[in-house]
Amino acid sequence: MTTSQKIQAAEKRIKELQVLIRHWKASEASSEHVALELIEGLVTEDYEINAA
């Protein structure tokens, strides 16, 4: 496995872990509205990162 492949695999794993953390945070939210705000904010954050 080349260094480039290792980096790509690590970046993919990081993204998977971030999604898992977001799921846990949303499930621990005090209300559905707060959970939705958490998810929407994080989706917007992802979009802005990918658009840059």
CA distances to 17, 20, 21, 33 from 14, in Å: 5, 10, 10, 27
Domain ranges within the chain, ordered by starting residue: 3-51
Q: Which residues contact 39 (CB under 8 A, 6 or more apart)?
A: 22, 26
Cα–Cα distance between 24 and 35 in angstroms, integer? 10
pLDDT at position 4: 95
Residues of the chain below pLDDT 50: none
pLDDT at position 48: 61
| pTM recorded for the entire structure | 0.57
pLDDT at position 8: 95
